[in-house]
Structure 1
C-alpha cells in the first residue's frame, strides 16, 4: 500500500474487515462449524493486528487532547468487547449454539464499530491531529500492522 494518512490507511483495513466479516457471515449462516472456524481465523488475525496498531497510533495520540479522551475510551472499550468475543470463538470447548451466537455478535459489533469510527471518531480526530501527524501516524500504523502479519504468518 502506498504511504497515506492514518485515516485512509485505516479505512483500507476496515474494508478488508468488512470482506472478512462477509465471508464469516456466509459460513455461520450455513451453520457449518468447521467452515466458520476457518473463516474466523483471518478475521481474528486482521482484527488483532488492526486493534493493536490503531490503539497505539490513533487512539493514544487522540487521547492527548481533552476532546479526544472520551472518544478513545469508547473505541477501546469496543475493541475489548470484540477481544472477549474472539476468545469465546477461539475456545475449542465452546458449544455450537454459543459459537454461532457469539460469531454473529462479533460480526455485528465489528460492523457497528467500523461505521461509528468512520462517521464519528475519524471526523473529530481529523480536527485534533494536524496533517503531518496524520501522515506520520499512517506510516507507523502500517509498519506495526505489517509486523504483526509477518509474525503471525499472514
Structure 2
C-alpha cells in the first residue's frame, strides 16, 4: 500500500525526538550548535509542510477545526522557544532550561498528534487524500528543508 500522510509525518517525528534527546545531552560547543541547527531546520520544515498538507484540510471539517487550532498553537509555542534558543553561546542555565521546556512541549505535541489527532484525521480524510497528502507533504517538506539549509 502507498505511504499515507501519517507515515510521512511519523518519520519526521522520529527525527525530532532523536535530535532533541541528543541536544539535551550535548555540551556547549560546535556539536551542540550543529544539533540545534539540525533540530531548528527539521522543526521548521516539518511544521510548514504539516500545516499546509494536514492542518489545512482538517480545518475544512468542523470536527477538525478545534484540534487543528490547538496543534497550530503548539507549533507557535515551539517556534517561540526555538527563537529564544538562537543565541551566540548556546550555553548557560537559561539556555538549558529553555531546551528542556522545548523538549517537553515537543514530546507532548507529538504524543497528542499521534494518539488522537491522527486518529481523527484518519476518520475525516479519505484513503486517496491520505496518499495524495503524503506526496504533497514530502515535496513541501524537502523544498522547505533545502531552503532553510541554504539560508544557514
TM-score by length of 1: 0.90
Equivalent of 1:68 in 64, 68, 72: 64
Q: For the residues of structure 2 that align with 1:123 and 1:7, how far apart are their CA atoms?
A: 10
* SS of match in other structure, 1:49: helix
CA displacement 1:41-93 (0-9 Å, x = unmatched)? 10110000000000000001001000000010000000000000000001338
* SS of match in other structure, 2:38: helix
* SS of match in other structure, 1:92: coil
Q: Match of 1:17?
A: 16
Q: Match of 2:6?
A: 7
CA displacement 1:112-133 (0-9 Å, x = unmatched)? 1111100010001100000000
* SS of match in other structure, 1:153: helix
Q: Which runs of 5+ in 1 are unaligned?
A: none
Write the mapping of 1:107-146 to structure 2, written as runs, cut at 5 A.
Answer: 107-146=103-142
Q: For the residues of structure 1 that align with 2:90 and 2:80, how far apart are their CA atoms?
A: 13
Q: For the residues of structure 2 that align with 1:93 and 1:63, how far apart are their CA atoms?
A: 40
The number of aligned residues is 150
Equivalent of 1:106 in 99, 102, 111: 102
Given that 1:50 and 1:145 are in contact with CA atoms closer than 8 Å, whether structure 2 keeps it comes out as yes
Q: For the residues of structure 2 that align with 1:23 and 1:66, how far apart are their CA atoms?
A: 39
C-alpha spacing 1:114/1:16, structure 2 compared with 1 (3 Å): same
Given that 2:32 and 2:90 are in contact with CA atoms closer than 8 Å, whether structure 1 keeps it comes out as no
